[in-house]
Amino acid sequence: MPYLNRQQILNLIRKKNIYSDKKLVNSQIQPASLDLTLSEKCYRIKASFIPNNIKISKVIKELSLTKIDINQNTLLEKNCIYLCELNEKLSLPHNIMGKSNPKSTTGRLDIFTRIITENGQEYDYVKYNYKGKLYLEIIPQSFSIILKKNTSLNQIRFFQRSNIENKIKQINITVSIKKNQITAYKAKKITSAVDLNKVNFYNSDKYWEAIIPKDNYFIIERDEFYILRSKETIIVKNNQAAELEPFKDSFGNFRVHYAGFFDPGFGNNKLGTPAVLELRAYDTPFIIRDGQLVGQLNYYEIDEIKKESYGNEINSNYYDQNLKLAKQFK
C-alpha cells in the first residue's frame, strides 16, 4: 500500500510530521493527498535552480530580483519565474517519502510549478526522513495570474516503505479527436490576467480558441498550449489511486498532462470519467490523431477510503468533467 490515504495523512499531522505556519484546514486534506499553500514569503527570481548542497536562503540572495508581498491579491506575470516558501513543513519518519504535483486547476491554466526542498537534488520528490521547509517554483506560461497568500497550486502525496513503483494495473491513455466538433481548446496569446480566486467568472472565448478539426486529426503548433480529453473513461475505486505517466519522446514530440494524479473515487460510477489532457508541443509542429497514445495510467493500492472519496460529496471541481477548462472559466 504505497499511497497514504486521508486518515493516514491526518495521523502524520497529529504526530507533527506535517505542520504549518497556519492552521491546517480540513479542505486541504484530499482523499490521498494534501494541498500545499503559499506563505507570504515570495520572490521573483532570475532563473530556476536545484539547490543540491546550497541552502535555499543563499540561493534566494543570489537570484532574487525583488521580494513580493502576496498578503493581498498580487499579479504574477506570464513567463516570469517566482519562488514562494510554503506554509507547510515536514518532519518525515524514515519510512515515509513525498511526491508533489500541480493541482488540476494549475495544470489547466498552464502554470508550471515544482517543489524544491533544502539540499534537494531533484524537483517534486521529498526524501525519506526529510525535515525542513518546502518551496514552490511558479512560472505562469499562457496567462498572467493573480493570487494571494494561502492559495494552493500544488498537492503532495505520501508513500510508505520503499517500493513506490508497485503497480497493481496499468492502462494506455489515448487522445480523443472528433471531426466537426469542439475537440480541443488552444490558449490565446494576448489576454487579461486570470484571478485564481474567481470561479466560473471569465468568458472562455476571451482566453481560449475552440479547435474544430475537419478530420480526425489536427496540428498542434510549437509552443502553444492545448486542452484535450482522453478517449478512455477512467474509474479509480476507493481502494486505489492512479497516476498518469506521459510516454517518452519516442511516442511524440510533445509534453502531456501537468497534474496526472487521480484520487480514490475519481470516475467511480458506471461509465467512468475521461481525463483532461494538457498538451504542449516543444520543438516543432506535430500532427496528433484520434486514438494516438499519450500516456499510461498506473494504478496503485491504497487502504480503502470509507467516505469522502473524490466527487460531489467533497465538492471536487472536476468529478463530472468532459472537455473541461479550469474552474475560473464559464
Does any domain span residue 1?
no
Please compute the mean of the pLDDT values over residues 249-261 and round it to a whole number. 62
Q: Residue 97: count other Cβ atoms within 10 Å of its Cβ.
A: 21
Which residue has cell 503548433?
221
Regarding whether 177 and 142 lie in a shared domain, the answer is no
Q: How many structural domains comprise the chain?
A: 2
Q: How many residues does the chain have?
A: 330
Please compute the mean of the pLDDT values over residues 217-230 and round it to a whole number. 93
Does any domain span residue 262?
yes
Regarding whether 85 and 17 lie in a shared domain, the answer is yes
**Residue 234 is part of a domain; what is its CATH number?**
2.70.40.10
82-140 pLDDT per residue, tens: 999 999 999 999 999 999 999 999 999 999 999 999 999 999 999 999 999 999 999 99
First to last CA, the chain: 39
Which residue has cell 526542498?
117
Regarding whether 102 and 42 lie in a shared domain, the answer is yes
Which grid coordinates are listed for 174? 489515448
**Distance (Å, whole) CA 231 – CA 174:** 6
Regarding whether 209 and 144 lie in a shared domain, the answer is no
Regarding whether 116 and 177 lie in a shared domain, the answer is no
Does any domain span residue 54?
yes
Regarding whether 178 and 37 lie in a shared domain, the answer is no
Domain final residue pick, 124, 140, 160 = 160
Regarding whether 149 and 19 lie in a shared domain, the answer is yes
Residue 271, pLDDT score: 81
Q: Who's near 190: CB < 8 A, 6+ residues apart?
A: none
pLDDT band at 250 (very low <50, low <70, confident <90, very high): very low
Regarding whether 306 and 174 lie in a shared domain, the answer is yes
What totals of helices (H) and strands (E) does the chain contain, helices first?
A: 3, 24
Say which amino acid occupies 123.
Y
In this predicted structure, the answer to whether residue 252 has a pLDDT above a threshold of 60 is: no
**Cα dist from 277 to 78, 83, 110, 213, whole Å:** 21, 26, 11, 17
Regarding whether 184 and 77 lie in a shared domain, the answer is no
| Backbone dihedral angles phi then psi of residue 59, each to the nearest 5 degrees | -65, -40
Regarding whether 308 and 224 lie in a shared domain, the answer is yes
Regarding whether 185 and 143 lie in a shared domain, the answer is no
Of residues 110 and 317, more confidence is placed in: 110
Torsion on CA atoms 141, 143, 144, 147, rounded to nearest 10: -100
Domain boundaries, position 97 = 6-160
Q: What single DSSP character describes residue 107?
A: H
In this predicted structure, the answer to whether residue 314 has a pLDDT above a threshold of 70 is: no
Regarding whether 80 and 120 lie in a shared domain, the answer is yes
pLDDT band at 308 (very low <50, low <70, confident <90, very high): low
Which grid coordinates are listed for 184? 480541443
**Distance (Å, whole) CA 278 – CA 154:** 16
Strand partners, 135: 85, 116
Does any domain span residue 111?
yes
